Structure 1
Amino acid sequence: MRIFWTFFWSFLLVQMLTYVVSSMTAGAEYNFAQGSIAAVGVTILILIATAVIPNEPVENH
């Protein structure tokens, strides 16, 4: 379920970002496929980052 929600929110936010950036760039068109591919990449990067970061508490020395 964690992977689904990560993809869901990254998909929505990346599509929004793609739309805004394409609207601000002169002569660029909104491309749904480009935003979808970027959303998959962002989801993979987020999942890798959460796997690398340790979850254990730090011991007091």
Structure 2
Amino acid sequence: MQYIMTFVWSFILVHMINFVLMSLGGGQALHLATASLLSVIFAVLVILISMTLPDDPVPHHSEH
């Protein structure tokens, strides 16, 4: 479920960024296919980064 929500949120956020940047860029046309591709790439990068981070708790000084 977390992977599905990662793709949903990346889709929403990248399309919002695309809309704002294209609106500020002089009213250029929206490229939804490019934004969709970028959102998939962004989601995969986020998932890969989350897989590389350790899940172990950080030990306290008294446990050394």
Moved over 4 A (4+): none
Q: Compute the RMSD of aligned alpha carbons.
A: 1.1
2:21 maps to which residue? 21
Deviation at 1:54, TM superposition (A): 0.5
Higher Cα radius of gyration: 2
Q: How many residues align?
A: 61
Q: Percent identity?
A: 33
What letter is aligned with 2:3? Answer: I
Deviation at 1:50, TM superposition (A): 0.3
Per-residue CA distance 1:3-53 (angstroms, 9 max, x = gap):
100000110110010011011113632110011000000000100010011
Q: Runs of 5+ in structure 2 lacking a partner?
A: none
